[in-house]
Amino acid sequence: MGPERAPGLLAGDTFNLRLARRSLGLLALCLILLPFADLAVTTHDPWAELGRMLDGLLRPDFLATESLAHAIALTVGFALWGTLLGMLLGFPLALLFHRSRLVRGGCAFVRAIHELFWALLLLQVFGLSAVTAIAALALPYAGIFAKVYAEILELTPRAPVDALPEGTGRLSRFAYAELPMVWARLAGYTRYRFECAMRSSVLLGFVGLPTLGFHLESAFREGRYAEAGALLWMFYLLIASLGWWGHRRLLPWLALGSLFLLGPWPDVDATLLWRFVSVDLWPRPLLEGDWTGLWRWLGDIPDLLPAIGNTLLLGLLGTAGSLVVALLAWPLASRHFGNSITRVMGKGGLVLMRSTPELMLAFIFLLLLGPSMLPAWLALALHNGALIAFLVARHADAFTLDGPPLTATGRYAYTLLPRLYDGLLALLFYRAETIIRETALLGMLGIATLGFHIDSSFAYLMFDQAFFLLLVTAGLNIAVDAIARRYRPRETSSHCDRRVPGDAAC
C-alpha cells in the first residue's frame, strides 16, 4: 500500500502524486495499527431496541416535551451570544495573530478544549446559567475566529493598499482598503460558525444546560424514543431552516429578544471562584511544594498512557474512516451524478449524518455491534465523512464539465476527483483536530480515551485531575493540529479557489 512497496506506480514529485502518497500513507498507517484497536463484535439481539428507536423517529411525539419553545429559544440564544462574543474577542486577536506567538499559543489552547469540557469547567463556578453556556461557546470560538480571520485577512488582495497615497494611516488603510476586500468572506465564515454554534448549543444540553439537547439526551437515554424522535426532527428542522430565520436583519432582534430568556444571571460567590481557580484546579502536593507527593499524585491518575494511545488511535481511525466515507459519499449530493430525486435523498442523508450528534450514532452502533472501539469509529467516520462530503459536493457543483461525455465512473475518476482531491484532503486535515476532540465524547462506550477520564474526574469532583487531563488533551490537540498542518496540501491548484480556511472545523 505504502509508497515503498510500489515505487514505480506512485513515484514522482508532482502535486497530485504527493497527495496520493499521503492518503495511502494515512490508510497504511491505519491498517498497521488496526490490530491494536479493540474491534470485537459481540451483540446478539439489537433489533427490539432499534425497532423502538425507528418507531420513535417515524411516530414522533411533539407534545411530550415540556417547555419545548423555551428550550429552542435558549438553544438559539446561547448560539447567537456565544458566536457574537467569540467574534468580538476573536477579531482583535486576529489582527495580532501573526505577530504574537503568545496570541497564537493562547488561541490554540482555548480551541483545543471541547465546548463540553469548557462547560463542565465553567459549571463549577457559574452553575447552570447562561454565563456558563455562552462562555463555553465564546472561549473556544474566540480562538477559532482569531485563527480563521487572520488567515482570511492574510489573503487580502494587495492592489487597493498599493494604490493608496503615501502616508495613509494604518487605521484608514485597514478600514478602506483591506476590510472591504475580505468582508464577504469574514461574514460568510461567521455565518458558518453560527451554524456550528447551533449544534454545539444543543450539545451543551448533554451536560445539563437547558437547551434542546437537555431534553433530547434525557429522552434518548431513558428510551422515550417518540419524544427523542420529535426533538431530533425539531433539531434537523432548525438547522435546515437556518437560511430563512437566520437572516442578517433578523439576527440582531433575535439576539436582543433572547436576552429576556437568558436570566436569571448567577451571583458569583467570589470566594468560591477564587478557591476554584487557586486551589481546586491544582494538585494539593504542588501547592504544598511536596515533590514526592506530586509524583504519587501523578501515579494516581488512571492509565494515562493507554488513554493517550486510545485517543490517538481512535483519532487516526476516525480520520482515515472519514476519508473513505467522504470519497464514497460526495457524489450523492453533487449535481454531476444521479437525478434530482437521488440528489435530494443524498443531500438529506448527508445532512442527517452530520447533524445527528455523534453520541447518538455511537449508541446505535453500540446496540448493533456491542461495546468496542468499532461503534465509536463508525460514528466518527460517518459524521465527519458526511460533513466533508457535503462540502466537497458543493465544490464539485462549481465546475462545469466540458469535453467528451463520460460514464459516471469516468466523470468521478478522471474529471472531477483530480480537481477536488486537494480540497478534500485539506478539509480532512483541518478536521483531524476536531476528530481528536470528539473522541473525548465517546467514553460511554467504555473506551478509555482521555475524555473518558476527564468525564470521570469531573464526576468524582477531582477538579485538579480533570484540569491536568484537560491540559494533556489540549497539548495533544495542538500537536495533532501541527502535524496535520504540516501534511495538508499546501499548493492550491489554479482551478480550485482557496476555500475559506477552517471551513470544516466545527
Q: Which residues of 435-473 are buried (b: 16+ CB within 10 A; e: fewer)?
A: bbbbbbbbbbbebbbbbbbbbbbbeeebbbbbbbbbebb
Angstrom CA distances, 447 to 161, 255, 444, 451, 492, stand at 54, 40, 7, 9, 39
H/E stretch holding 247 = none
Region near other proteins per CB under 8 A, out of 200-208, 236-244, 433-441, 473-481: 200-208
Of the pair 253, 414, the CB lying nearest other proteins is at 253
Which grid coordinates are listed for 258?
433572547
Q: Which of 44, 248, 249, 486 binds other proteins (CB under 8 A)?
A: 44
H/E stretch holding 277 = none
**Least distance CB 119 / other proteins (angstroms):** 10
* Integer Cα distance of 480 and 488 in angstroms: 12
54 sits near other proteins (criterion: CB under 8 A)? no
**Least distance CB 480 / other proteins (angstroms):** 26
Q: Which of residues 164-193 bind other proteins (CB under 8 A)?
A: none
491 sits near other proteins (criterion: CB under 8 A)? no
Asked if residues 224 and 232 have their Cβ atoms less than 8 Å apart, the reply is no
**Least distance CB 113 / other proteins (angstroms):** 18
Region near other proteins per CB under 8 A, out of 116-124, 156-164, 338-346, 404-412: 116-124
**Least distance CB 86 / other proteins (angstroms):** 20
Q: Which residues contact 8 (CB under 8 A, 6 or more apart)?
A: none
Asked if residues 484 and 323 have their Cβ atoms less than 8 Å apart, the reply is no
Of the pair 85, 479, the CB lying nearest other proteins is at 85
Total residues in contact with other proteins, by rule CB under 8 A? 59
* Integer Cα distance of 141 and 146 in angstroms: 8
Q: Which of 57, 96, 128, 251 binds other proteins (CB under 8 A)?
A: 128
Q: Which of 160, 348, 371, 475 binds other proteins (CB under 8 A)?
A: 371
Which grid coordinates are listed for 126?
457559574
**Least distance CB 497 / other proteins (angstroms):** 41
Q: Which residues of 183-209 are buried (b: 16+ CB within 10 A; e: fewer)?
A: eebbeebbebbbbbbbbbbbbbbbbbb
Binding mask 291-330 for other proteins (x = CB under 8 A): ---------x------------------------------
Which grid coordinates are listed for 414?
478522471
Q: Which of residues 349-368 bind other proteins (CB under 8 A)?
A: 366-367
- At 467, the amino acid letter reads F
272 sits near other proteins (criterion: CB under 8 A)? yes
| Backbone torsion region of residue 193, taken as left when φ is above 0, otherwise alpha when ψ lies between -120 and 50, otherwise beta | alpha
Binding mask 449-488 for other proteins (x = CB under 8 A): ------xx-xxxxx--------------------------
Give backbone dihedrals phi and psi of 192, rounded to 5 degrees, phi first: -60, -40
Q: Which of 14, 42, 271, 494 binds other proteins (CB under 8 A)?
A: 42
Q: Which of 55, 222, 397, 497 binds other proteins (CB under 8 A)?
A: 222
Q: Which of 14, 35, 48, 491 binds other proteins (CB under 8 A)?
A: 48
Q: Which of 160, 338, 370, 475 binds other proteins (CB under 8 A)?
A: 370
**Least distance CB 274 / other proteins (angstroms):** 14
* Integer Cα distance of 473 and 438 in angstroms: 11
Which grid coordinates are listed for 139?
472561549
Which grid coordinates are listed for 485?
498542518
DSSP string for residues in 3-51: TTT-HHHH-S--HHHHHHHHHHHHHHHHHHHGGGS------S--HHHHH
208 sits near other proteins (criterion: CB under 8 A)? yes
156 sits near other proteins (criterion: CB under 8 A)? no
Tell me which DSSP letter residue 460 carries: T
Asked if residues 491 and 16 have their Cβ atoms less than 8 Å apart, the reply is no
**Least distance CB 226 / other proteins (angstroms):** 11
Secondary structure (3-state) at 471: helix
**Least distance CB 67 / other proteins (angstroms):** 7
Rg (CA), the chain: 24
Binding mask 64-93 for other proteins (x = CB under 8 A): x-xx--------------------------
Question: Within 10 Å of residue 15's Cβ, how many Cβ atoms?
Answer: 14
Query: Contact positions toward other proteins, by CB under 8 A?
Result: 42-46, 48-49, 64, 66-67, 120, 123-128, 205, 207-208, 210, 214, 217-219, 221-224, 227, 256, 259-260, 262-267, 269, 272, 300, 366-367, 369-372, 443-446, 455-456, 458-462
